[in-house]
């Protein structure tokens, strides 16, 4: 994606206020985004990094973070551990909301790529949409746990997260085989 900054004039010429001339205000800079440039190879690299649980930030950094834990599909065992040790007072909904948002964006990217660059099998996009719905269900169940404090919901969350991880791994492998 390229961003072009253009000069938008608010006023033409010099305005007058009575007998005084008022200088023209600074022009407003407006950024316009061009979607003409999409780096498909970079997208595929990020898909491979996610599927193989690679820290993709290492491609852009001179130093590696020594506290690295997990990336991509490897996050799910850490989330399971988190759920096993959770108490309502320390339960953080952001984890589950972030996962859901990631799935939303993945479906949006796949639809964009399919319509502008390379067709993606509709069944693969449908599978990713189902994963998005599963992630929303997980997020909503996590909210329910925060509200009700029913500890049985944590076991249900763990089961749903395990299924989400399996389904997502299968989808990524199908996507890589399909367009890789």
Distance CA 121, CA 123 (A): 5
| Contact by Cβ (8 Å): 97, 139 | yes
Could you please report the per-residue DSSP string of 155-166? HHHHHHHHHHHH
User: Sign of the C-alpha dihedral, residues 80, 85, 91, 92?
Assistant: negative
- In this structure, what is the dihedral angle of CA atoms 171, 68, 137, 132, given to the nearest 10 degrees? -30
Phi and psi angles of residue 31, each rounded to the nearest 5 degrees, phi first:
-90, 130
Distance CA 78, CA 70 (A): 8
pLDDT 10s digits, 64-106:
666 667 888 888 999 999 898 887 667 899 999 999 999 999 9
Tens place of pLDDT per residue across the chain (180 aa): 444 444 444 444 445 555 565 556 666 665 555 556 778 888 888 888 888 887 776 666 666 666 667 888 888 999 999 898 887 667 899 999 999 999 999 999 999 999 988 899 999 999 999 999 999 999 999 999 999 988 899 999 999 999 999 999 999 999 999 886
Neighbouring C-beta atoms of residue 62, cutoff 10 Å: 5
The pTM is what?
A: 0.72
């Amino acid at each position: 994606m390229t961003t072009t900054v253009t000069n938008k004039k608010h006023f033409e010429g010099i305005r007058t206020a009575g007998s005084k001339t008022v200088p023209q205000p600074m022009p407003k800079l407006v950024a316009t985004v061009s979607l003409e440039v999409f780096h498909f190879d970079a997208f595929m690299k990020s898909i491979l990094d996610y599927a193989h649980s690679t820290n993709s930030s290492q491609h852009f950094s001179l130093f590696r973070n020594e506290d690295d834990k997990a990336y991509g599909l490897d996050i799910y065992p850490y989330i399971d551990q988190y759920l096993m040790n959770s108490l309502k007072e320390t339960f953080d909904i952001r984890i589950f909301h972030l996962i859901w948002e990631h799935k939303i964006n993945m479906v949006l990217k796949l639809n964009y790529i399919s319509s502008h660059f390379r067709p993606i099998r509709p069944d693969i996009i449908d599978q990713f949409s189902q994963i998005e719905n599963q992630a929303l269900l997980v997020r909503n169940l996590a909210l329910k746990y925060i509200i009700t404090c029913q500890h049985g919901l944590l076991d249900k969350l763990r089961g749903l997260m395990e299924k989400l991880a399996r389904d997502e791994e299968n989808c990524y492998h199908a996507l890589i085989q399909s367009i890789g």
